[in-house]
Amino acid sequence: MQGSSQARSSSSTTLNLSTRRPGGPSLCLAREPPVVHQTWAIDGGSIVFAIRTDKPLPATAFATVGEVVASLEHLAETLAPPPRGAATGPRRRSREQMTVTSRKRPPMPWSIHFFQRDESDDAVRSVPAIEFLDSIPAKVAAEIHAVLDAVAAAPPPSFSGGGKREAMHDDMAGYFEVRVQGGGMNHRLFCVLERDAEDLGGSSIVCIDGLSKPPRTAAHPRDYRRVKRYGAEFQKRRTVLE
């Protein structure tokens, strides 16, 4: 079974949502690399969700993308391959089984927390990420919050972030950054992912710190050292803003 639903416009944005068999022809005709691309294996094929555009996704799109990804996660679970050893061929399910499947909910969204320094490290118990967000234009801060909300709703790692959420590498491995432009500057919010963290109430995104820098320039090493120092404090103290 193979089908597709595609939306194309003169703005060169393509939304590709399709089911196809492995090795089958690609149904997306856009040439731009995908800014959002997720694949889920299903029984006899796969579900592919991709957005291709040569322009950054607007902040207003991220919440909707998160909802779409969550719905597709639910669909993929419904169409998942049978467990190994299960009987093959046509399967007949009882009304009770179909009702249980239809009620199965998509993955729960992750919580968002902001690291707060412990009193033993900082007498005023500052919250570096909040201080950063308060220092940048309100419109930029709102866009960062929108990206965070979308990533948490997907939840990670299902949602790649459309170029505005990037995993870091080398000395900063283990962090991801929310990347937003505004006011002639590039703004970065650095976060860590805490899966199944009981002390945080479950899987969570923890915002550590941020920085702003001119376009096409590298961040100063001292900024990265500060982020890593705060990250180490968080791992030691496990303190977040209540």
- Tell me the one-letter amino acid at 74: H
Q: Which of 128, 123, 122, 231 is nearest to 175 (CA)?
A: 231
pLDDT at 19: 37
What 132-138 contacts at long range (C-beta under 8 Å, 24+ apart), as own/partner pairs, is 132/189, 132/209, 132/210, 132/211, 133/189, 133/210, 135/212, 136/182, 136/183, 136/185, 136/187, 136/210, 136/212, 137/182, 137/183
**% residues pLDDT > 90 (the chain):** 45
With cut-offs at 50, 70 and 90, classify the pLDDT of residue 13. very low
Angle of helix 128-135 relative to helix 138-153, nearest 10 degrees, comes to: 130
Averaged pLDDT for residues 11-30: 38
3-state secondary structure of 89: coil
Which residue matches tokens 């570096």? 128
Q: Which of 1, 34, 3 is nearest to 17 (CA)?
A: 3
**% residues pLDDT > 70 (the chain):** 66
With cut-offs at 50, 70 and 90, classify the pLDDT of residue 91. low
pTM: 0.60
Radius of gyration from C-alpha coordinates of the chain? 21
pLDDT tens digits, one per residue of 96-130 = 444 444 455 667 889 999 999 999 999 999 999 99
With cut-offs at 50, 70 and 90, classify the pLDDT of residue 73. confident
Q: How far is 242 from 229, CA to CA, in rounded Å?
A: 21
pLDDT at 30: 41
Which residue matches tokens 């945080």? 200
